Structure 1
Amino acid sequence: MQSVESVESMFTSHTLETAPAASRKAMEGVVRHFGHLPDAVTRLAESPELLTGFLGLSASFERSTLEPLARETVVMTVAVRNDCHVCVDIHTAKLRALGAEQELIAALCDRLPLPDERLEAVRRFTLEVLAAAGGVDDGVLKDFLSYGFTERNALEVVLGIGAYTMSTFANRLVRAQV
């Protein structure tokens, strides 16, 4: 059996001209934001519902009250756990743009405790929510809250997990490239 990475994608890499009409507006927005169409977007465009759903959830997560490094900690934790190289590469660059130390990025990529204990609390909580399908023990939630996070932040972690679980699964399915 071939590994996921070695299998050629059967999914079409769409252009603005070949994409389903319902995907084009979202694709145009991505071009305005990034200056180009990432491979993942060209392939996810096959499903306007998935593409617009992910972009909408991702935008909602970006507007959440979690600070940027905490949001990126959630994203990277999900991306590394789900072995999505596209997301890891994209969000490594985003962490660098936010001024994250290389030690933090390396620890996230290597599934190691983070040097920043508050961000480590986010990473642990994200993993616990994933492992328990949301049904975390009271102690896990209390630990997360003890770092100054709120109940709202706990729910925002779930939002991030949902958005980036969708993204990582879809990117792996379509064999998206960086």
Structure 2
Amino acid sequence: MFTEHTLETAPVASRQAMRNTMAAFGKVPDAVARLAESPELLNGFLELSATFERTTLDPVAREVVIMTVATRNDCHICVAMHTGKLRKLGAGAELVAALREWRPLADERLEAVRQFTLTVLATAGGVPDDDLKAFLASGHTARNALEVILGIGTYTMSTLANRLTRA
């Protein structure tokens, strides 16, 4: 139903994003090839992803948000890709396994990110005051709380689109 586009078959407005992705990864990942069907979705996701990468959350904390969304939404390609990214960041095998298996994280600060992400998702953003206070007490900021929302939005879009296109 969804075409795995090449640079030649993709809509013109998707081709630059595909070229940029190819330059970064050495190939066009299956997800990008399928999301290219909609230049708006592909470019929007890539722009939001780049914005999320610029937040004040540290790189591993960002990956905790992404993996929490990816596992919750059962996006196998995202779990695989971000497992690789966590490994490149030097994350330990136990952290990666815990994220993949929905288990609490040993690192309290990262567990606070995971729990906050799950609470935001479960409450559609209506996070109870005590949960927000717990997140802030773990050393995170109000800015970080909003950055978690950015990550959730970005990777909810990605995981749903990847599942729809069977990437």
Could you tell me the TM-score, scaled by structure 1's length?
Answer: 0.93
Q: Which residue of 116, 125, 138 maps to 2:129?
A: 138
Q: Which residue of 1 aligns with 2:80?
A: 89
Equivalent position amino acid for 2:25 in 1:
F
SS of the equivalent of 2:3 reads: coil
Measure, in 2, the Cα distance between the counterparts of 1:106 and 1:131: 22
Measure, in 1, the Cα distance between the counterparts of 2:85 and 2:54: 16
Q: Which residue of 2 aligns with 1:5?
A: none
1:121 aligns to 2:115 (yes or no) = no
Measure, in 2, the Cα distance between the counterparts of 1:133 and 1:34: 34
1:18-69 deviation per Cα after TM superposition (whole angstroms, max 9, x unaligned) = 1000101111110111110000100000000000000000000000000001
Matches within 5 A, 1:18-167: 18-167=9-158
Measure, in 1, the Cα distance between the counterparts of 2:54 and 2:164: 28
Q: Which residue of 2 aligns with 1:170?
A: 161
Point out 4+ residue stretches in structure 1 off by more than 3 angstroms: none
Equivalent position amino acid for 2:18 in 1:
M
Measure, in 2, the Cα distance between the counterparts of 1:26 and 1:93: 21
Could you tell me the TM-score, scaled by structure 2's length?
Answer: 0.99
1:14 aligns to 2:14 (yes or no) = no
Equivalent position amino acid for 1:110 in 2:
E
Deviation at 1:147, TM superposition (A): 1.0
RMSD: 0.5
> Across the two proteins, how many residue pairs are aligned to each other?
167
Can you give the 5+ residue segments of structure 1 that lack an aligned partner in the other structure? Answer: 1-9
Q: Which residue of 2 aligns with 1:3?
A: none
Q: % of aligned pairs identical?
A: 71
The structure whose RCO (Cα within 8 Å, separation 6+) is larger is 1
- Looking at secondary structure, tell me which structure has more helix per residue: 2
Can you give the 5+ residue segments of structure 2 that lack an aligned partner in the other structure? Answer: none
